[in-house]
Amino acid sequence: MKNRLFDVLEPRTLFSGTPVTPHETPTPPDATIQADLAAVKAAQTKLATDWKADGPTIIADEKALAAAKQAAYAALPSSVTTQLKTDQTTVQTDLKKLFTDYISGASSTQITADKTALQTAWQAVQADLKTIQTDVNNNPAVVAAQTKLTTDSAPITADQKALQTAWTQLRTDLKNHA
């Protein structure tokens, strides 16, 4: 008597699956592609090595530049910062006036005058900000810190450019090879 609880589900004795076919070995890339891959690897290695050696110096230079900029902002003449604050207040006042006149249904002439005043005040703020940025960028301590950072970063910048060039050459050769 058969136990119905444990009937055989399938009478197959071999596993199912796809037949195994011989594996085809892909052809290795030609000499140009291999040379490009070697150039990419060499550029990556040089970048990593230079970053390991110069990274701490570059980070210190970036911190020094940030400190120099902060000091330059703090050393700005009060007349410059006062002018900026005054112009910003004028922008806020003109914006409130435009909004109030618009809500109250003022004439189109008045709205146009408000917009013109707001635009003029905004341009004054932009000019103030440009003056401040120029003063900070021309500060001798900022110029010196920026120059040091640029000089110390030169090997890294050159390595990045070399890596980009190697990748571009590899892409070009792969495109032309296919």
Q: Which residues contact 55 (CB under 8 A, 6 or more apart)?
A: none
What is the C-alpha separation between 78 and 67, in angstroms, rounded?
Answer: 20
Q: What is the pLDDT of residue 9?
A: 61
Q: What is the pLDDT of residue 176?
A: 87
Give the CA angle between residues 88, 93, 98 to the nearest 5°. 125
Q: Strands, DSSP E only, in 17-133?
A: none
Q: What is the pLDDT of residue 10?
A: 60
What Cα–Cα distance (Å) separates residue 113 from each residue in 106, 120, 123, 126? 11, 11, 15, 20
What is the C-alpha separation between 61 and 53, in angstroms, rounded?
Answer: 14
What is the C-alpha separation between 142 and 144, in angstroms, rounded?
Answer: 5
Please list the pLDDT of the chain residue by residue as tens digits (178 residues): 555 555 556 665 656 666 666 677 777 788 899 999 999 999 999 999 999 999 999 999 999 999 999 999 999 999 999 999 999 999 999 999 999 988 898 888 988 999 999 999 999 999 999 999 999 999 999 999 999 999 999 999 999 999 999 999 999 998 887 6
Torsion-angle region of 17 (φ positive above 0: left; ψ -120 to 50: alpha; else: beta): left
Query: In residues, how long is the chain?
Result: 178
**Count of CB atoms situated within 10 Å of the CB of 68:** 20
